[in-house]
Structure 1
Amino acid sequence: MQTEKVVNYIVNWLKDYATNAGVNGFVVGVSGGVDSAVTSTLCAKTGMDVLCLEMPIRQAESHVTRAQEHIKQLMARFDNVSDARTDLTPVFEAFEAEVFFDGDQATVDMALANTRARLRMTALYYYAGLYKLLVAGTGNKVEDFGVGFYTKYGDGGVDLSPIADLMKSEVYELGTFLKVPESIMEAAPSDGLFGDARSDEEQIGASYPELEWAMDMDEKGKLETDFMGREQLVFKIYKRFNKNNKHKMLPIPICEIPKHLI
């Protein structure tokens, strides 16, 4: 990958889109992970206003520390970057107190995890409206179009997606070029939606390099029977997530009424 040219291309794309939209810049939810760090740095390089927003909800301390380290570094490097912190824990707990729980604990935990993401989306759009900004998405290609590892109308609810055509490995390449803090580059990827430091790999059952491989094999038309051992297991995991999360990746289905019924 021609890293510098890719960076410049994305930065120009962001700037052109925001200028044509008549907005002042971007708001990015900064989580302490590499995707949000790279996205916020790319936005900062446009020279337009960038608001880095922290939105903790009973967050693991390691995530908070990394997010703050990145924001501090970014503000030291770019005059157009500002920060804000909105602690959504009381909002989440108020919601949690009002809903009823029906089902097994794993189902309840997942529903609440997705609620966290949707509360954050609401906060991002509040500040976007307040300061005339676009919500910049932080999803990469394998998350957004491979396994669908995001929350519909949560972190999937954005105005534009600058890194969604890049694999996770390519995002790391950009992170090195953009001087993202080492603590973030070395941390295990985590969505931070459960209030602990569990990694994406622990949740999915496969690492991002493995998922990238599986996505490539799937695009080449390979079948589960083409592999054995760990490769077969990873391919099965990828196909299961891809199938189950297709509803996130496809446009909202519309019931088109036949003309003779109207």
Structure 2
Amino acid sequence: MRIEKVADHIINWLKEYATKANMNGFVIGVSGGIDSAVTSTLCAKTGMPTLCLEMPIHQDKNQISRARKHIKELQHNFANVSNLEINLTPVFEEFQKAMPQDRETSTLDLSLANSRARLRMTTLYYFAGLHKYLVAGTGNKVEDFGVGFYTKYGDGGVDLSPIADLVKSEVYELGGYLNIIEEIMNAAPTDGLFGDSRSDEDQLGASYDELEWAMKNKENGKTSKDFEGRKKEVFDIFVKLNNANQHKMNPIPVCEIPVHLKK
């Protein structure tokens, strides 16, 4: 990958899109992970106002620490970067109290985890509306178009997606070029939605390197029959998640009414 050219392309794309849309800048949720670190740095490099939001909800202290270090580094390097910490823990707790809890634990936990992401999306758009900013998405290609590893109308609810055409390894390569802090570069990827230390790999059953491999092979027409052992297992994981999450990746279905019924 021509890393410098790719970075410049994304930065110019961001600035051009915001300018044509007559928007003032960007707002990004910064989690302490590589995707949000790279996205916020690219937004900062446009020279346009860039608001970094920390939105902890019973967050792991290491995630909070990494996010704060990254934002501090950004503000040291870019005068156009501002930040706010909005503690959503009390909001989430009140929401949780208002909801019925008579469900099996697995579905309840997942539903509440997704609710955290949707509370954050609402917060991002609150500030986007206040300042006439665009909400910058932080999803990469494997998450957004491979396994659908994001919350519908949560972290999937954005105005534009700067890194969604880059697989995870390319995001890390870009992170190295952008001098993202070492703690973030070395941290295990996590969505941070469960209030514990579980990683994305724990949830997905495969690493991003493995999922990139599976995504590439599926795009090249390979099937499960072409592999055995761990490769077959990973390929099957990818295909299962890809199929299950098509509802996130495809446009919202519209019930088209036949013309004769409207007459």
TM-score (norm 2): 0.99
**1:138 matched residue in structure 2:** 138
5+ residue gaps, structure 1: none
**1:171 matched residue in structure 2:** 171
- CA offset at residue 33 of structure 1? 0.1
Secondary structure of 2:253's aligned partner: coil
Alignment of 1:192-211 (within 5 A): 192-211=192-211
Residues 31, 54 of structure 1: 8 Å contact kept: yes
Residues 137, 156 of structure 1: 8 Å contact kept: yes
Question: What is the CA deviation profile of residues 176-235 of structure 1, one whole-angstrom value per residue up to 9, with x for unaligned ones?
Answer: 000000000000000000011210000000000000000001111111111000000000
Residues 62, 197 of structure 1: 8 Å contact kept: no
**1:246 matched residue in structure 2:** 246
Secondary structure of 1:83's aligned partner: strand
Question: What is the CA deviation profile of residues 100-153 of structure 1, one whole-angstrom value per residue up to 9, with x for unaligned ones?
Answer: 023210110000000000000000000001111000000000000000000000
The 4+ residue runs of structure 1 with deviation greater than 2 A are none
TM-score (norm 1): 0.99
**1:159 matched residue in structure 2:** 159
Distance 1:21 1:224 in 2: 44
**1:30 matched residue in structure 2:** 30
Number of aligned pairs?
Answer: 262
Do structure 1's residue 118 and structure 2's residue 118 form an aligned pair?
yes
Residues 54, 86 of structure 1: 8 Å contact kept: yes
Distance 1:102 1:5 in 2: 53
**1:181 matched residue in structure 2:** 181
Give the letter for the 1:187 counterpart: A
Residues 172, 185 of structure 1: 8 Å contact kept: yes
Distance 2:212 2:62 in 1: 26
Give the letter for the 1:3 counterpart: I
Do structure 1's residue 76 and structure 2's residue 76 form an aligned pair?
yes
5+ residue gaps, structure 2: none
**1:98 matched residue in structure 2:** 98
Give the letter for the 1:166 counterpart: L
Do structure 1's residue 20 and structure 2's residue 20 form an aligned pair?
yes
Residues 28, 137 of structure 1: 8 Å contact kept: yes
Question: What is the CA deviation profile of residues 13-69 of structure 1, one whole-angstrom value per residue up to 9, with x for unaligned ones?
Answer: 000000011111000000000000000000000000000000000000000000000
Distance 1:135 1:193 in 2: 20
Distance 2:252 2:37 in 1: 30
